[in-house]
Amino acid sequence: MPEIGVLILGGGEATRLPGKLELAAGDLPMIARVLRNVSSGRETFISCKATFAAGLDDALAVPMVVDRWLRRGPLAGMMSTMARMRSPWIFAVAGDAPLLDSGFVEWLASRAEPGDEALVPVRDRDGQRQLEPLAALYDRLAFLREGLPVLRSGRGMLGLVVDRLRAHLVAVDELDAFANVNTPHDYEGLRARLEAGGRSTS
């Protein structure tokens, strides 16, 4: 697979846990831990709605792109940011997923087949198939091509873009690494997992 860049999504509203990306995740603020885990010398951008607190802003030494379309979900941030990036493939990751790492990016890339425009993890959760579009690899130009019509339609659902792409769904085990931090309870669970040694299978 050609060169892979990283797009970290840090522009969510976080109404249930305000300021969550600045909370400690081990030895670093959450979004800084995500940056350390997945950037690994790759072209890396952060999608955001504004700057972070001064000290954290200085620590996030990568370009940041403010969403062009407000309140349109992660798709808007991905479109705004991918338009500024140059890597042919982009790993999109939520800023509140501090247990994913570069090893997962490489593992996912190794599953690529000719003609793929996206590699999206899929797992079984409580008997239901669940896609993980915010831990996925995307052909940047294909994503921009198919994402714009979805945004223009007034919808903004990332899943609609995945449906338009030649998406390769890659089965994965149930990993704690996919857990997002959305509530105080989620955050306490993250702290417990970090104290226990990071991610684990379940």
Q: Write down the pTM of the prediction.
A: 0.90
List pLDDT tens digits, range 96-146.
999 999 999 999 999 999 999 999 999 887 778 889 999 999 999 999 999
- CATH topology for 4-196? Spore Coat Polysaccharide Biosynthesis Protein SpsA; Chain A (3.90.550)
User: What's the CA gap between 111 and 185, in Å, rounded?
Assistant: 34
Show me where the domains of the chain are located: 4-196
What share of the chain has pLDDT > 90, as a percent?
53
In sequence order, the 6+-apart residues with CB closer than 8 A to the CB of 62 are 35, 39, 44, 45, 46
> DSSP letters along 27-87, please?
TEEHHHHHHHHH-TTS-EEEEESS---HHHHHH--S-EEE-SSTTSHHHHHHHHHHTT---
User: What's the CA gap between 202 and 199, in Å, rounded?
Assistant: 10
Look up tokens 């999109």; give the residue: 92
* pLDDT of res. 202: 30
User: What's the CA gap between 116 and 200, in Å, rounded?
Assistant: 29
As given in the structure block, the two tokens for residue 117 are 């425009």
pLDDT value at 81 more than 50: yes
The terminus-to-terminus CA distance of the chain in angstroms comes to: 30
Lowest-confidence segment of 61-70, 104-113, 127-136, 156-165 by average pLDDT: 61-70
* pLDDT of res. 198: 55
pLDDT tier for residue 167 given thresholds of 50, 70 and 90: very high
